[in-house]
Amino acid sequence: MTYPSVDRLQMVLAESVFHYAKDAKKAAGRALGTLVEIITFYALKSWGLERHVAIERPLPEFANAGITHNVEYTIHPSKTLKTLEYRQTDLPITAKKIVRDGGLGLLHLPVGCSKCTVLLTKGLILRNSCTIADTGSLFYNAYLDAPTENKVKCTIAALHSKPFAMFECKRVGIEEGMLKGPQTIEKAKQGAYVARTVSSLQKIRFIDGTLGGLIQRDDGTLCCKDFYTLMAEIIAGNDREMLANFILTVGVVSNHGNWFTSTNHNKELKVLAQSYDWLLFLSDNGIAQFIDELLLHPKKKLCAARNAFLASYTGQKGVNQFTKVQIALAADAALQWYFASQSRVIESWFNIITPVKKPLAVLRDELDTLKNKNWQEIHQ
């Protein structure tokens, strides 16, 4: 790293970007959390999952739909319906305009299911995973294709409300004068609770301390064996009963001087590691390299992303154009280029905590396998 720690890098951001804030270090810490979410989202995009992603969509607990949880990203079965083309002079591209032009009326959408979202504003701010309509069992998202100088294309996709995977990001920073963030264990427990309650594949602990998996078939019979063996069988197979309510849970955690390291597991990390199916540790070196190349010493192709970040943190409200939900169009293009050209380097930023000794390529393969299942038949 260029800096001895991310804590020191956080202080540099506090001094150079967030000097206007009452608590500059805290403001810089929140921005670091946003960067972790951005890294996760653009990694998913680079893996070809963009048109399956929903952002902060309520996720119900398994067999207990009265309780839902907002997680950063859920990954859903998706079917591309139509591509629309607009001129730059047609901006903004609103959900109402897309529903009107996309012929979604032919799908007999109920009254009131359309959203008031905007895919692309006149100021060229993009809304990622823009939901334009929601019927309950299905929701419809619009995704922006690569724009040209005069034209903008967007693709409409129908996504099933039940996801097959979810990603959640967790980060806590240190307050001045403290050795540890005061909410560290509470955030760990919160993430662990969600990870353990949303999927039909339940985790149990065997008497010898190993992790077991338990799933119930429609006739009430139980299937129980080693957790990761059972999970692998479910993902690789085509058993409708096993797949219908299965959700692969992935946690992305970062330390930044507070929780742990990837080789030094304290209580918080142990709680998360036994709860998520996959737990990825975003290393200090990784986040430091991203900040250095994005903000401190950007290449020309990344300047648009840096400008969007700086424009979002001026002390004024309503100007944010650098989040997982909305981002400047030029910044989006810059980040897509960066993640495509640096894919191997970026994947090296993630240390796998669990499953033990499995590379990130296995997670990508599992997501790809799940993406290509016949979900229409599974959910019928």
Rounded CA-CA distance 163/54 in Å is 9
Q: Which strands sit side by side in the sheet containing 326-328, from one edge to the other?
A: 93-94, 118-120, 125-127, 326-328
pTM: 0.91
Angle at Cα 289 formed by Cα 343 and Cα 128, nearest 5°?
Answer: 55
Question: In terms of pLDDT, which residue wins out, 110 or 336?
Answer: 336
- Give the pLDDT of residue 214: 97
- Rounded to 5 degrees, what are φ and ψ at 282? -80, 110
The residue whose two tokens read 């992935």 is 250
Contact 88, 124 (CB under 8 A): no
Question: In terms of pLDDT, which residue wins out, 351 or 164?
Answer: 164
Rounded CA-CA distance 46/364 in Å is 11
Share of the chain above pLDDT 70, in %: 88
- Residue 180 in tokens: 């540890």
User: Which of 266-270, 307-311, 326-330, 354-358 holds the top average pLDDT?
Assistant: 326-330
- Give the pLDDT of residue 23: 73
- Give the pLDDT of residue 228: 96
With bands split at pLDDT 50, 70 and 90, how would you rate the model's confidence at 52?
Answer: very high
Share of the chain above pLDDT 90, in %: 62
Maximum CA extent, the chain: 66
Is the pLDDT at 106 greater than 60? The verdict is no
| Mean local confidence (pLDDT), 105-120 | 76
HSE, side-chain direction, 13 A CA sphere, residue 266? 11
With bands split at pLDDT 50, 70 and 90, how would you rate the model's confidence at 241?
Answer: very high
Is the pLDDT at 26 greater than 90? The verdict is no
Contact 352, 277 (CB under 8 A): no
| Mean local confidence (pLDDT), 329-354 | 94
Strands 165-171 and 248-254: parallel
| Mean local confidence (pLDDT), 245-273 | 75
| Mean local confidence (pLDDT), 74-90 | 93
What's the sign of the alpha-carbon dihedral 313, 319, 324, 329? negative
Is the pLDDT at 361 greater than 60? The verdict is yes
- Residue 84 in tokens: 């629309």
Residue-wise pLDDT for 158-182, tens only, equals 999 999 999 999 875 555 545 554 4
| Mean local confidence (pLDDT), 292-306 | 91
